[in-house]
Structure 1
Amino acid sequence: MAESRLRVATALAAVLGVLVLLMLPATAGPASAAPETTTSGPAGSDAEAPSRFARIDIDSMTPSIVTTTSRPVVSVSGRVENIGDRSISNLTIRLERGDPIASASGLRTELADDDPAVAVAGPFEELTDSLEPGESIQFQMSMPLSDGPDATVPGLGISRTGVYPVQVNVNGKPDYGGIAQVAGSRMLLPVLSLPPDENRARDYVDPTAGEAGPGGAPGLGPDGSVSANLSSPARMTLLWPLAAPPQLAPGVLGGNTEPVRLVSDDLARSLKAGGRLSELLTALQRVVGAPPSETVGPASEAPSAETSAERSPGTALPGSEKLAESMCLAVDPDLLVTVRAMSLGYEVSDNPADPTSSTRPGTGAEAAARWLDTLRWTAGRMCVVALPFAQADLTSLARIGNPGLGAAALQTPSDVVDAILGVKSVRGLSIPALGAIDAAGAGVLEQARVQATAVASSSLTPTGRRDQSGRYRIGGLAAQTYEAPITAAFAALGTVPRTPALTPPSQRVDLADESIGSRRQTAVAALAYPAISAPRADQPDDTDRREPIVGRSAFLMPSTYWSPTIGDSEALFATARLLLESGAATPTPLTAVVGELDAARESARLTDPPGIGPVGRVGSALTSEATDAIRRNVEDSWQFEGALMRAADVAATPARYMSPLREDQLRAIRSPDSAGSAVYTQLRRQQEERIRAVASTLHRMTRSVNILDPGGRYTLASERSPVLLAVRNDLALPVRARLGISAPEGVEIGDLGVIEIPARGTRQIQLPTRGDSSEAVTIDIRLDTVTGVPLGDPISLQVHTNAYGKPLFYITIAAGVALILLTARRLWHRFRGQPDPADADRPEPDELERMLAGSGYQERRRTLQGEGAPPGEDAGTEPHDPRRSEDGGSST
């Protein structure tokens, strides 16, 4: 019986639970609620619903920063658009705020939380009865900073300084659903000080009469205003990065020996008016002014109320002296190298992975030249510091382990910036793009003789006291810390918002849900946070409160590829100028920061911050295979450079000729500019393309210098005749090489030493050869650079030396000895007056031979006849020769 009752009770509970779930959509109140993900609809309809039915675009929030001179009302204007596929009815809107942010991480976590806590909420106001898909409606709402004199006028309840999260919440009833939150937009409201307020004035107590009442706020004035905290001004240093993802196509040799190739024409669009880099440079004209020959075009967006004063385009903002003193231009030398090359004319590769692919003409040469001229003028009037070349990752440099590549990434950039811009940049400080380093990266900095760096506070942990300037010593390296959440807020600006790779998951805001206006307001609040969050001298210490690692430092480091519009930049400048002029912050030039880093005493240790890389560690997407390939390419490039020579008719030096290949390897290990696995996948693909392209060019260079194979059989005229060869060099510079020869025993070939092969020319070479035999032999000849890089293909020559070796030598010696002996014998007989026996068998000459004997013989004959012939002979008869034999022959 009990079991049957239990089954009945369980069934009834299940039925009631189902009924409650079915009634929830219809009974949901107008309070803020999470968006629906499923709805019930007609048969056959799609059950899935969008994560947001509508979108809120914030146009402005006034005041963007609350001060004693601000109106005591916060006003927000914007537009609500139906981005779903169904109508929304009964739309209402209200303003909500949360508790003040207690730490820098809250600048992002308060915006990333799916269910933020609401401390104060205003009443819902009717927006519209119905909003069809694709339609939008403008709104403007206001709410007092504090409660009104009576309870009928609710306010935001802000009674002290701080940075407050604010949300615009829109509720509505989508078709086939119930009342729910259909859109929301969050931003931050910085409160530097507060305007007068009657309610707060009641809590004021004259300090001379006693302590402030229990409701009194620090800094409370007799009129209810709250003063700014000026007891510990933040030391403001604002860097202004100018950088872009690598655009030079890989595998192209330098020194103007080959046409400049770009992977795309995106950089040209960025340099032209309205482009990202153009906007960044144009914004600086509001601080240092525009070149006399130029006027910067009007801002693309209307400035905020604080910067709406009438002024000519391109002129500096009034009172920008302190702001200019605190700012420093951070430039990527890779960007300068690329823009300068573009200004001289360039091409766009159809296949960036192939250095020999077809190209099309580039369109940004004029824009590049104009932008570079403006940058030179601007850089000459403000601080400039060089970023690591192409944002190369320090951990990857450590894994590659090539000191020359590390120097090219960290030491050479300052020289490149100085040479192109004509300035003297700040030295001794490296600013890693990622914002974090590990022990291996710190070792690379020390090896490159860089003594100081700037890193996010989340990448180190103090081992002792916290330094109020945010400077620590990590072994032999000094580090200036900055807040990564502020960097993330800057990265979210503009038309291409990003989430930096250093951002942990809990701080990753869905930027697609936020408009340009809301992201701008958040960035303004993030910039002001270090100056507003200072502890007050008149406030008792909070034992639970931990001082930030950065202390009172307002070292502001935007992400390198950020994209603020001119309106965003003006809002940042207006806020920074307000903080500096009010005394809440003090300008600190970067040169002063670098100089004071030497005095850093507090120690810290490096840690891996959360959110780095696909597996949560510091480093780029460098695989072990890619590491080995880059190491080989870099070594080969150094060896090739060591073998090249400068030519009088070529402007390129060996260093300028080969350095682009090493720079390509630095571009291959650039740090990720945003978070996400898709970013690492893209980086790996680009990395492989650059590595293969450089390897292809190096291989092509080795094939460009070779020995011209004569072919056939080579016959020497004698045993010491030289072997003639020709070598060809198709490179743009002369190359020094050596011949490596392998010959069989019996053939000796002399060593010519180092030979110089002219650029794009041919040289004849004579190899001294000596052979000991007359047989055909095979000689193998190869060509290497003086540094050991093999060139071209080895050749094999079939050579006939035409020599007889030792037998011929002995025969020649024997013949010489016999000749000497026979000559000596004849002379011996002649000196003794004896007939030579060798002449005995010589025949008597006939009449013709006598006639040919000449006048000497005839004269001797007439002389003999004149003296008288021997008896028995007449004058006409030849005298008898007793040596003559009976047959008329010689007896010898």
Structure 2
Amino acid sequence: MPDPVPPPLPLVLHRFTHGRSTRASAVVFAVVALVVLCAGPATFATAAPVSDDTTGTTDTDGTGGFLRLTIDEITPSIVTSGGGADVTVSGSVRNVGDRDLEDLSIRLERGDAISDANELRSSLAVTPVPVSAATAFRPVTDALAPGESDDFSITTQLSATDGLNIQRTGVFPLNVNVNGVPDYGNAAKLAQSRTLLPVLSLPPNATRADQYVDPSTDVDDANIDSDLGSDGSVSANLSSPAQLTMLWPLAAPPQLTPGVLGGSTEPVRLVGEEMARSLSDGGRLHTLLDAARSVAGSSAGARSAPASDTTSPTPSVAEPAEPEPSAPGAAPPSASGEAAPPEGAASPDAPSRLAQSMCLAVDPDLLVTVRAMSLGYAVSSDPMDPTSPTTPGTGQPAALQWLTELRDVASRMCVVALPFAQADLTSLSRINDSGLTDAALAGPADVVDAVLGVRSVRGITVPALGAIDNTGADVLASASVGAAVTSASSVDAERADPTGRYRVGDLAVQTSEAPLTAALAGLGDTPTTPPLTPADQEVSFDGESGTARRQAAVAAVAYPAIDAPTQPDPADLPTAGRSEFVMPPTYWSPTADDTDALFTTATLLLESGAATPSPLADVRGALDATTTTARLTQPPGSRPLAELGMAVSDDVAAQIDDEAELSFQLQASLMSSADVAATPERYVAPLREDLLRAIRTPDTASAALRAEARGQRAARITAVDATLQRMRNSVTLLDPGGRYTLASERSPLLLVVRNDLSLPIRVRINVDAPPELDVGDLGVIEIPARGTRQIQLPTRAETSEEAITVTIGLTTSSGISVGSPIFLSVHANAYGKPLFWVTIAAGVALVLLVARRLWHRFRGQPDPADEDRPDPNEHDRLLAGATYQERRRNLQTEHPGHEHHDVSADETDDHQEPTTTSSSDGDRP
């Protein structure tokens, strides 16, 4: 059979390094050009190096800290049939000890091809280093004094017996070993650097060509190697492409100072300027977003409009113009004509295969923080004290720019929300607060959609720990989440599913490989080890350079695509099947060179046919139809997930539950105000978000960082409790003090209620008084925001004998006591029931007496009450029948010289003609 002819070189290459350096673009172009060569044997140009790196570390497997070995470049980073037949490793060595070093020599060593995903890490951790093939030692330098350094470059053949002797595809452990003789010592290994070399296909080789069997000859098919070409090249196994889904996490540890109320009612406080540095040029989040933008392409090809202006004080909740839930599938390539874009090439109408595979995994806590920063913020001198002095923040422009760019990228890529602040599932189970659980698992999608103006993929949770157990599955079910991503090591299935998807009870799970996640955690200047990593897979980063760690990550990404089964028998498949669900650590920190290398590798796999894009939205839809059953189990070699996730104790869980419930009840009693933009939910929700930040999953197995996380947890819970108590104390009754006297038995009690909160609140007045004082109930009353209201309590006192002690307190309409109760000594001017009965008796007696007199009068009988009166004489009768003037003259006659002044008479005379009378006028005219 003639050699297969490679397909024509694509005329249009996907530009996924938009905005990057020319060097990175050249790398991408060269590697993508190799894509078409991987399906069959050929002899084209080699791939360009991934990047260079000048970071080195001291070896810990030699005689001591004598030598620092730095790997600058490994060429090729992934072996293909279109590349050369050699592997070159270059770098430098530096004497970091206090002795001279002599006769330095170097060689390359190869181990056996790894057989499962766990060996992606365990092969780099095992000691001593297993060696299956090695080159001869080659001199580096005769002598190296303390502080001196020297460069090296070693090249060896891939398939030669005196080289690496690689004859098949796979991923191989690669060790760079430096020997030498220190002063006062013997020859020994002074330094080493361990990494992985992925081999997707092999270039031509004369020795292998002799083993080629033409399939057209009459030879038993069992003896035919279908991957071997007539020129001795070995093609990639494309019989079962890996289904590639790559999440791109955008998250950061909590940065908002706890205990600050929301809705722009209080200044935004951050614990430091770490977030500002991360968002600025060269920062971690800036690098991650810049890399994602290079995949999404320019905004000219956007399929939906960017979100609204970031300066709006509230996130836009207007319905966006149909944002895509996931990257849409690429249009079918043209079957003829060179003018048609090749399959997978970027175009204004179809994203690249890499863009289809990727999905931004965004932490809503990050969006909340960055958006708050974009509106202005301050930095607290005490990170956990919301009342400490502050200094103005400097990251507002960077936050505004980053959020604007994220909205643009998100409008053209798949987006999925991570759990809020990476809340731990076991902790949520122990807290057992439905509102808090919904805020952690169901609410994040709404936050992401509102801030970014997109429609995110819903109904699937990506736990920060990378795995779930039965407790976590129950929590997801309580939040109505029907699907999740979990480590393949946490799933026990009777038979492997090629898609890596299983049904565990009511929950559907997509499996991923934890060793791949661990390899990605090793990227960047601050490599970490995820908590889920077993002890036999913990790689020491002290002995590896940045380039070596990057090379190991590239090999880990390539492994699922390279490790295709010869026969598609489910029995031969791992739990993850042929799925390659790439789930980097939440807080990972790759450099720009790292992201370039990852995208180069993923593009090579997709364009060669070793992998196919599997958009997250398609994965989510397929999970609903999953029928292969499995059960959740503890990952082998790992501690229980509750311990790895640093779950809260029962006491702490009860405290968090109480605080969350109190926040909901206070929120229920608050009311919106036309003077304040904040709603009750936006006003109180930051406190519950602080509680979720307190239970975040640790991103590393480091004991020191986990201890720090515990301290932050306690501080956040304390700060939230202090703010809740401050809210309760902000609504008070003003104590009039002293003795309170009621003017009458029905006089009201006058009280003043004060509200220092930024929103109106509804309260009830509770009175505890003895039976002698009846106080009416006014029901629920509203107290204005930052104001007072005078209240008149209707009362009725039944005694005035002594002072009455009355206790008056406030509770919200939801039943939460607020403020401090006041104690009044009340005195009423009332006689109570005795006075009532006396009045009734007097009234009855009066009625009887009146009735008696009327009775006698109607019968014409004299009233016996008048029998003891004397009869009137003549003078009394005369006076009784005389007028007033006549009675006056009679009195003057009877009492001459006595002046009787009658005011009424004077007033009467003022209306009559004035008359003058003498004192001797005693007779009538």
Q: What TM-score, normalized by structure 1, do the two folds share? A: 0.84
Checking the alignment, whether the CA contact within 8 Å between 1:437 and 1:618 is kept in structure 2 is: no
CA distance in 2, matches of 1:441, 1:729: 42
Residues 431, 211 of structure 1: alpha-carbon distance in 2 compared, 3 angstrom cutoff: farther
SS of match in other structure, 1:686: helix
Matching residue's letter, 2:290: T
The residue number in structure 2 matching 1:7 is none
> Does residue 117 of structure 1 match 2:143?
no
Checking the alignment, whether the CA contact within 8 Å between 1:610 and 1:616 is kept in structure 2 is: no
Matching residue's letter, 2:427: S
Shift of 1:292: 6.9
Residues 36, 72 of structure 1: alpha-carbon distance in 2 compared, 3 angstrom cutoff: closer
**Of 76-85 and 269-278, the range deviating more from structure 2:** 76-85
> Does residue 812 of structure 1 match 2:839?
yes
CA distance in 2, matches of 1:233, 1:845: 142
CA distance in 2, matches of 1:209, 1:107: 40
The residue number in structure 2 matching 1:397 is 428
Checking the alignment, whether the CA contact within 8 Å between 1:122 and 1:156 is kept in structure 2 is: yes
Shift of 1:564: 1.0
**Of 623-632 and 566-575, the range deviating more from structure 2:** 623-632
The residue number in structure 1 matching 2:820 is 793
> Does residue 62 of structure 1 match 2:75?
yes
Residues 466, 838 of structure 1: alpha-carbon distance in 2 compared, 3 angstrom cutoff: farther
Shift of 1:243: 0.5
SS of match in other structure, 1:562: coil
Identity of aligned residues (%): 58
Residues 722, 173 of structure 1: alpha-carbon distance in 2 compared, 3 angstrom cutoff: same
> Does residue 742 of structure 1 match 2:768?
yes
The residue number in structure 2 matching 1:534 is 564
Match of 1:330 among 335, 338, 361: 361
Q: Deviation per CA, 1:322-375: give whole Å up to 9, x if none.
A: 111111111001100100000000111111222211111111011000000000
Shift of 1:445: 0.5
Runs of 4+ that moved beyond 6 A: 212-216, 315-320, 825-831, 841-846, 849-853, 858-862, 875-878
Matching residue's letter, 1:510: S
Match of 2:262 among 254, 261, 269: 254
SS of match in other structure, 1:156: coil
Q: How does 1:665-680 map to 2 (within 5 A)?
A: 665-680=691-706
Checking the alignment, whether the CA contact within 8 Å between 1:286 and 1:317 is kept in structure 2 is: no
Matching residue's letter, 1:795: I
Residues 497, 449 of structure 1: alpha-carbon distance in 2 compared, 3 angstrom cutoff: same
The residue number in structure 2 matching 1:466 is 496
Residues 440, 185 of structure 1: alpha-carbon distance in 2 compared, 3 angstrom cutoff: same
The residue number in structure 1 matching 2:373 is 342
CA distance in 2, matches of 1:141, 1:317: 41
Residues 235, 798 of structure 1: alpha-carbon distance in 2 compared, 3 angstrom cutoff: same
Checking the alignment, whether the CA contact within 8 Å between 1:621 and 1:684 is kept in structure 2 is: no
Q: How does 1:703-742 map to 2 (within 5 A)?
A: 703-742=729-768
Match of 1:448 among 446, 455, 479: 479
SS of match in other structure, 2:376: coil
The residue number in structure 2 matching 1:272 is 280
Checking the alignment, whether the CA contact within 8 Å between 2:104 and 2:143 is kept in structure 1 is: yes
Match of 2:207 among 178, 184, 199: 199
Shift of 1:453: 0.5
CA distance in 2, matches of 1:797, 1:218: 98
CA distance in 2, matches of 1:731, 1:420: 27
The residue number in structure 2 matching 1:497 is 527
> Does residue 140 of structure 1 match 2:153?
yes
CA distance in 2, matches of 1:92, 1:853: 152
SS of match in other structure, 1:635: helix
Matching residue's letter, 1:810: W
The residue number in structure 1 matching 2:325 is none
Checking the alignment, whether the CA contact within 8 Å between 1:34 and 1:180 is kept in structure 2 is: no
**Of 158-167 and 87-96, the range deviating more from structure 2:** 87-96
CA distance in 2, matches of 1:177, 1:636: 70
Shift of 1:268: 0.5
Residues 219, 845 of structure 1: alpha-carbon distance in 2 compared, 3 angstrom cutoff: farther
Match of 2:446 among 415, 434, 437: 415
CA distance in 2, matches of 1:452, 1:390: 19
CA distance in 1, matches of 2:368, 2:627: 38
Match of 1:688 among 714, 722, 730: 714
Q: Deviation per CA, 1:123-151: give whole Å up to 9, x if none.
A: 1111122223333222111111111xxx7
Q: Deviation per CA, 1:137-176: give whole Å up to 9, x if none.
A: 22111111111xxx7xx22101110001101111122233
SS of match in other structure, 2:209: helix
The residue number in structure 1 matching 2:662 is 636
Residues 382, 291 of structure 1: alpha-carbon distance in 2 compared, 3 angstrom cutoff: same
Match of 2:792 among 766, 769, 789: 766
CA distance in 1, matches of 2:381, 2:511: 43
Q: How does 1:84-163 map to 2 (within 5 A)?
A: 84-147=97-160, 154-163=162-171
The residue number in structure 2 matching 1:28 is none
CA distance in 2, matches of 1:242, 1:769: 62
Aligned length: 789
Match of 1:567 among 568, 590, 593: 593
Matching residue's letter, 1:800: H
Match of 1:209 among 209, 212, 217: 217
The residue number in structure 1 matching 2:462 is 431
> Does residue 481 of structure 1 match 2:494?
no
Checking the alignment, whether the CA contact within 8 Å between 1:621 and 1:680 is kept in structure 2 is: no
CA distance in 1, matches of 2:809, 2:659: 22
Shift of 1:662: 0.6
Q: Deviation per CA, 1:218-247: give whole Å up to 9, x if none.
A: 510000000100000111111111010111
Matching residue's letter, 1:491: A
Matching residue's letter, 1:498: T
Matching residue's letter, 2:415: V
Checking the alignment, whether the CA contact within 8 Å between 1:204 and 1:222 is kept in structure 2 is: yes
CA distance in 2, matches of 1:735, 1:589: 48
Q: Deviation per CA, 1:458-507: give whole Å up to 9, x if none.
A: 11111x21100000010010000010101111111111211111111111
SS of match in other structure, 1:443: helix
CA distance in 2, matches of 1:842, 1:118: 152
Matching residue's letter, 1:516: G
- Structure 2 unaligned spans of 5+: 1-58, 303-344, 893-920
Alpha-carbon RMSD: 3.0
CA distance in 1, matches of 2:563, 2:109: 22
CA distance in 2, matches of 1:852, 1:760: 77
Q: How does 1:820-831 map to 2 (within 5 A)?
A: 820-821=847-848
**Of 124-133 and 698-707, the range deviating more from structure 2:** 124-133
Matching residue's letter, 1:168: V
The residue number in structure 1 matching 2:242 is 234
Residues 331, 853 of structure 1: alpha-carbon distance in 2 compared, 3 angstrom cutoff: farther
CA distance in 2, matches of 1:104, 1:293: 38
Q: How does 1:165-184 map to 2 (within 5 A)?
A: 165-184=173-192
Matching residue's letter, 2:147: G
Checking the alignment, whether the CA contact within 8 Å between 1:160 and 1:217 is kept in structure 2 is: no
Checking the alignment, whether the CA contact within 8 Å between 2:374 and 2:397 is kept in structure 1 is: yes
CA distance in 2, matches of 1:843, 1:220: 161
Checking the alignment, whether the CA contact within 8 Å between 2:534 and 2:636 is kept in structure 1 is: yes
SS of match in other structure, 1:354: coil
